[in-house]
């Protein structure tokens, strides 16, 4: 897999597995360090290396949503829902990838939030700061899946780019599983922007 990483970011080290008790069940956790010294995690249940496709979520780090319970996005809601769905099936994996702010980092993400407070949407805020609407890369995710023995996934996502990227890096996506949760008055415009301007597959039709 390392030969596919056009940005030369590869996994260089991984930890042993350890138990991770959560409100939704007992997961197993492993950490991975890449060649840029970013540290990612995988939490999973069940036998990932069996022949059946694995329920999977690629979740980009979101301090504000995952940790501080922000209502400005749907990230924390999606992480919780993915854990619940995997626990219900007793088999699946979440890759927790250090790509805060769709790849622009926490500092620039908060700068983008400031611009959004002044009326820009999430796309225009990123562009105003000199970034693409979504700067994330997914080579490292395919590498993590391979190291976990995962070849085929049922991918929990509303973002078709994640499906395309996994197929590109030889992780077969046999099904896209929608993960629409957490819409509220604070993130409604944000979700509409993701649907209209970024191509996310959301069932909601904006007013």
Q: Strands 54-60, 92-97: parallel, antiparallel or unpaired by DSSP?
A: parallel
Rounded Cα–Cα distance for residues 200 and 207 (Å):
17
Distances, alpha carbon 187 to alpha carbons 28, 70, 82, 157, in Å: 32, 9, 19, 17
Catalytic residue among 117, 136, 143, 197: 136
**What does residue 120 show for φ and ψ, rounded to 5 degrees?**
-75, 150
Instruction: Return the half-sphere exposure (C-beta side, CA atoms, 13 A cut-off) of residue 95.
Output: 30
Is 136 a catalytic site residue?
yes
Contacts of 162 by beta carbon, 8 Å cutoff, 6+ apart? 58, 138, 155
Q: Show the 3-state SS of 25-70.
A: EEEEEEEEEECCCCEEEEEEECCCCCCCCEEEEEEECCHHHHHCCC
Is 134 a catalytic site residue?
yes
10 Å Cβ neighbour count for 20?
A: 15
Q: Which residues are catalytic?
A: 134, 136
């Amino acid at each position: 897999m390392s030969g596919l990483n056009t940005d030369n970011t590869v996994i260089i080290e991984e930890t042993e597995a350890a138990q991770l008790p959560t409100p939704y069940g007992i997961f197993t956790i492993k950490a991975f360090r890449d060649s840029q010294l970013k540290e990612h995690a995988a939490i999973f249940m069940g036998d990932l290396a069996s022949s059946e496709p694995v329920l999977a979520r690629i979740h980009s780090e979101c301090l504000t949503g995952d940790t501080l319970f922000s209502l400005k996005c749907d990230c924390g809601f999606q992480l919780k829902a993915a854990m619940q769905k995997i626990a219900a099936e007793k088999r699946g994996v979440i890759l927790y990838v250090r790509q805060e702010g769709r790849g622009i980092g926490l500092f620039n993400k908060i700068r983008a939030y400031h611009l959004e407070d002044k009326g820009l949407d999430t796309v225009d805020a990123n562009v105003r700061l000199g970034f693409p609407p979504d700067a994330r890369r997914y080579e490292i995710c395919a590498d993590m899946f391979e190291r976990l023995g995962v070849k085929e996934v049922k991918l929990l996502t509303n973002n078709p780019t994640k499906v395309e990227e996994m197929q590109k890096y030889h992780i077969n996506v046999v099904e896209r599983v929608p993960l629409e949760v957490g819409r509220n008055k604070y993130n409604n415009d944000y979700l509409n922007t993701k649907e209209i301007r970024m191509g996310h597959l959301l069932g909601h039709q904006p007013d």
